[in-house]
Amino acid sequence: MPAVGGVGPGTGKAYPGNLTPYVTVTCIVAAMGGLIFGYDIGISGGVTTMTPFLKKFFRSVWEKKEADKSKNQYCQYDSQTLTMFTSSLYLAALLSSIVASTVTRRLGRKLSMLFGGLLFFAGALINGFAKAVWMLIVGRLLLGFGIGFANQSVPLYLSEMAPYRFRGALNIGFQLSITIGILIANVLNYFFAKIKGGWGWRLSLGGAMVPALIITIGSLVLPDTPNSMIERGQTEEAKAKLKRIRGVDDVEEEFRDLVAASETSKLIEHPWRNLLQRKYRPHLTMAILIPFFQQLTGINVIMFYAPVLFSTIGFKDDSALMSAVITGVVNVGATVVSIYGVDKWGRRFLFLEGGVQMLICQAVVAACIGAKFGINGNPGDLPKWYAVVVVLFICIYVAGFAWSWGPLGWLVPSEIFPLEIRSAAQSINVSVNMLFTFAVAQVFLTMLCHLKFGLFLFFAFFVLIMSVFVYYFLPETKGIPIEEMGQVWKTHWYWSRFVEDVDYPNGGMEMGKGGQGVKDV
Ligand code: BGC
């Protein structure tokens, strides 16, 4: 059996530094950038089950839903216009993350966050006051632009700020905010849907202005990362900042490595074209496959459409929204488990355990829905225990995702790219993520209509593939300083063929046996 996990724990490098209150608070504020993304994920699915909203903007869907009451449940929400409402945002996010790459690199991570907040605010404002479908779509495009900027910059910011031993935990603050955003949105939908007069959806959509303000203000008060300051020529300030962040005076070694990484980075004129070089093959592969796999877990079927899905399988509108709240709570709780475990148990363990858990649950849910709804989608009366079992397994599935692919889908890419390609590669990560979020959102209702319960088996198949991929191809990155990451590829049974020692003058070149050697810079 090859050494599939890559190097052992640690690199032999141990930069001094603590988890200072300063860095903790900074990371918490920055991580709140995930709120806008989460709020939107949670709000859109719920809003599309609100009858007044459907009647106003998507009347044909509402009429079909009314007419279909006792017929094929699998197809009652199948409408391209309705899915376009949800998914248009992701196309916008895809485009803006590419622009954000340049802003993040040239002007700093903070400015990208600021743009993210402002664009999202504008989108929320337009949506809250929408009078016609075009206003909804324009609003959603702006929200998407905002998310592209935020998701491009926040994970990088966190990984650069964090002391390497706590990088996993601090970075997952981003995912925690996403899940909190989703939960808040689900709870608000539940209450706003009850507002008499049927204008509650305006509050749901307009409410996005609050998380937008949080990231906007946050970005103004946050410091820049030392990596980014060095990259932009502010070397002395960067050193002082590093001392402040780490809470120690002895930052020489880390500082030297950051400067060296920046020198290498300056030699690169075209970060995009550069990504195609052979030595970046492992990075490029991960930048594409990790987000692709994250979306192919099928998680957003639950996140966007939990209310739709639950009402499809027989819950009343109100209890469907309530069940979405329950999965939301599980999502937050399991993310906290990940924060606790990621720097202890490592990334690979979480990926693999989460994969097995999701696979089992998807098979059970497919079997349950198949058994009751069969092929024609007409279940007759559903007993209560049945709904409870389905919700239970969906919750276990969500937990599996929330401590594996959810947070790690953002953490791992943000920590494996060398500085010279970091912004560009992160944009690829965000774009691919958004592309497949879009694809899943756009085709899910049609797939449910055609594949029926087999839809869950479709995603289960991908979960199997991605777990095998992680087992063989993803090296462990726990406890390795970010500018030292080159070594994980060099000692990997497969990726080592793509990278030469000279490729990583700043990446743990002279590794001793077992990954414990110390590099001399
Ligand atoms: C994913 C989202 C997903 C969310 C669920 C994130 O990591 O990128 O697509 O909706 O997790 O918590």
The 10s digit of each residue's pLDDT in 289-304 is 999 999 999 998 888 7
170, 219, 285, 418, 455 from 105: Cα distances, Å:
22, 16, 21, 13, 40
The residue-averaged pLDDT of 162-175 equals 90
Q: Computed from CA positions of residues 16, 19, 22, 24, in that sequence, does the dihedral angle turn out positive or negative?
A: positive
Angle formed at CA 458 by CA 457 and CA 464, multiple of 5 degrees = 80
The DSSP call for residue 10 is -
Q: Residues near ligand 1 with C-beta < 6 Å?
A: 41, 175, 178-179, 182, 294, 299-300, 303, 331, 406, 409-410, 433, 437
Looking at the CA of residue 402, tell me the nearest atom of ligand 1. Answer: 12
- Amino acid 317: pLDDT: 65
CA 426 – CA 417 distance, rounded (Å) = 8
HSE-up of 502 (CA within 13 Å, CB side)?
A: 1
CA 127 – CA 206 distance, rounded (Å) = 6
Whose C-alpha lies nearest to ligand 1, atom 1? 406
Range of weakest confidence among 14-28, 50-64, 498-512: 498-512
The residue-averaged pLDDT of 140-157 equals 92
Q: What is the pLDDT confidence band of residue 340, given thresholds at 50, 70 and 90? A: very high
For the cut 90, the answer to whether the pLDDT of residue 123 exceeds it is yes
- Amino acid 177: pLDDT: 95
Query: Within 10 A of 220 (CB to CB), how many other CB atoms are there?
Result: 11
pTM of the model: 0.86
Range of weakest confidence among 71-75, 342-346, 451-455: 71-75
For residue 390, the CA-to-ligand 1 centroid distance in Å is 21
For the cut 90, the answer to whether the pLDDT of residue 373 exceeds it is no
Retrieve residue 121's tokens.
Answer: 């605010």
Name which of 26, 23, 40 is nearest 211 in CA terms. Answer: 40
CA 55 – CA 53 distance, rounded (Å) = 5
Given the structure tokens 């216009």, which residue do they identify?
Answer: 81
Q: What is the pLDDT confidence band of residue 64, given thresholds at 50, 70 and 90? A: confident
For the cut 80, the answer to whether the pLDDT of residue 504 exceeds it is no
> What element of type H or E holds 9?
none
HSE-up of 251 (CA within 13 Å, CB side)?
A: 20
Given the structure tokens 């007044």, which residue do they identify?
Answer: 52
Among 309-318, 480-489, 496-505, top mean pLDDT goes to 480-489
For the cut 80, the answer to whether the pLDDT of residue 437 exceeds it is yes
Q: What is the pLDDT confidence band of residue 271, given thresholds at 50, 70 and 90? A: confident
Query: Within 10 A of 442 (CB to CB), how many other CB atoms are there?
Result: 18
> With contact defined as beta carbons under 8 Å apart, do 494 and 475 qualify?
no
- Report the chain's mean pLDDT, rounded to a whole number: 85
- Amino acid 395: pLDDT: 94
CA 485 – CA 488 distance, rounded (Å) = 6
Whose C-alpha lies nearest to ligand 1, atom 11? 406
Q: Ligand 1 pocket: which of 35, 178, 440 to mutate (most atoms <8 Å of CB)?
A: 178
Q: Ligand 1 pocket: which of 300, 397, 408 to mutate (most atoms <8 Å of CB)?
A: 300
Percentage of the chain modeled with pLDDT above 90: 49
- Amino acid 516: pLDDT: 31
Report the first-to-last Cα separation within the chain, whole angstroms.
33
CA 100 – CA 117 distance, rounded (Å) = 13
- Amino acid 51: pLDDT: 86
The residue-averaged pLDDT of 329-343 equals 96
Q: Which residues contact 356 (CB under 8 A, 6 or more apart)?
A: 400, 467
pLDDT in tens, 392-431: 999 999 999 999 999 999 999 989 998 888 888 988 999 9
For residue 343, the CA-to-ligand 1 centroid distance in Å is 21
The residue-averaged pLDDT of 317-338 equals 87
Retrieve residue 485's tokens.
Answer: 């990451």
Whose C-alpha lies nearest to ligand 1, atom 12? 179
SS3 per residue for 202-266: HHHHHCCHHHHHHHHHHHHHCCCCHHHHHHCCCHHHHHHHHHHHHCCCCCHHHHHHHHHHHHHHH
Retrieve residue 58's tokens.
Answer: 């998507």
The residue-averaged pLDDT of 327-354 equals 96
Retrieve residue 130's tokens.
Answer: 């929408």
> With contact defined as beta carbons under 8 Å apart, do 35 and 215 qualify?
yes
For the cut 60, the answer to whether the pLDDT of residue 132 exceeds it is yes
The DSSP call for residue 196 is T
For the cut 50, the answer to whether the pLDDT of residue 287 exceeds it is yes
- Amino acid 409: pLDDT: 96
Name which of 347, 466, 413 is nearest 9 in CA terms. Answer: 347
For the cut 80, the answer to whether the pLDDT of residue 70 exceeds it is no
Looking at the CA of residue 178, tell me the nearest atom of ligand 1. Answer: 12
CA 318 – CA 53 distance, rounded (Å) = 15
For the cut 70, the answer to whether the pLDDT of residue 377 exceeds it is no
For residue 437, the CA-to-ligand 1 centroid distance in Å is 9
What phi, psi does 408 have (nearest 5°)? Answer: -70, -25
> With contact defined as beta carbons under 8 Å apart, do 159 and 31 qualify?
no
pLDDT in tens, 224-266: 999 889 988 899 999 999 999 898 888 988 899 888 888 877 7
Per-position DSSP letters for 330-370, written without gaps between them: HHHHHHHHHHHHHHHH-HHHHHHHHHHHHHHHHHHHHHHHH
- Amino acid 3: pLDDT: 47
Looking at the CA of residue 437, tell me the nearest atom of ligand 1. Answer: 9
Query: Within 10 A of 117 (CB to CB), how many other CB atoms are there?
Result: 26
Range of weakest confidence among 43-57, 109-123, 168-182, 461-475: 43-57
CA 376 – CA 335 distance, rounded (Å) = 37
Q: Which long-range contacts (CB under 8 A, 24 or more apart) does 344-349 make?
A: 346/9, 346/476, 346/478, 347/168, 347/408, 347/411, 347/412, 347/474, 347/476, 347/477, 347/478, 348/5, 348/470, 348/471, 348/474, 348/476
> With contact defined as beta carbons under 8 Å apart, do 256 and 239 qualify?
no
> What element of type H or E holds 319?
helix 317-345
Q: What is the pLDDT confidence band of residue 375, given thresholds at 50, 70 and 90? A: low
